[in-house]
Amino acid sequence: ALGIALAFLRHEPARTSEQAGIVLTLLAAGTLVLTALAAVQTVKGALRTRRCHQLLARCGQRMDLPGFPLPAWRIAAPFPVAAVSGVVSPRLILSSRLMDECTPDELAIVVRHEAAHARRRDNFLRSCLLALPDLFGFLKGGDIVAREWQHAVEEAADDEAVRSEPAARLTLAGALVRVGRMTAGPPP
Predicted confidence (pLDDT) per residue in 76-112, tens digit: 988 888 999 999 889 999 999 999 999 999 999 999 9
Other CB atoms closer than 10 Å to residue 132's CB: what's the count?
A: 14
DSSP assignment of 85-131 equals: E-SSS-EEEEEHHHHHHS-HHHHHHHHHHHHHHHHHTHHHHHHHHHH
The gap between the terminal CA atoms of the chain, to the nearest Å, is: 39
Instruction: Identify the residue with better confidence: 23 or 186.
Output: 23
Q: Percent of the chain, pLDDT > 90? A: 38
Name which of 182, 116, 146, 118 is nearest 38 in CA terms: 146
Q: Give the amino acid at 75.
A: I
DSSP assignment letter at 84: E
**Do the bridges between strand 82-85 and strand 61-63 make them parallel or antiparallel, or are there none, so unpaired?**
unpaired
Tell me the pLDDT of the chain averaged across its residues. Answer: 86
Q: Is 72 helix (H, G, I), strand (E, B) or coil?
A: strand
Give me the pLDDT at residue 85, please: 92
Which helix (H) or strand (E) segment holds residue 46: the answer is helix 22-59
Q: Residue 73 pLDDT more than 80?
A: yes
How confident is the model at residue 143, as a pLDDT?
Answer: 77
Residue 17's pLDDT band, with cuts at 50, 70 and 90, is confident
Provide mean pLDDT across the span 108-119. 92
The residue type at 103: T
Q: Which helix (H) or strand (E) holds 70?
A: none
Tell me, what's the pLDDT at 187? 67
- 102 phi/psi in degrees, rounded to 5: -85, 150
Cα dihedral 151, 70, 97, 159 in deg (nearest 10): 30
Residue 157, pLDDT above cutoff 90: yes
Mean pLDDT within 34-54: 89
Position 185 confidence tier, pLDDT thresholds 50, 70, 90? low
Mean pLDDT for the stretch of residues 149-173: 90
**CA 77, CA 79: separation in Å to the nearest integer?**
5
Section 142-169 average pLDDT: 87
Q: Is 70 within 8 Å of 122 (Cβ atoms)?
A: no
- Strands 91-95 and 72-75, sheet pairing: parallel
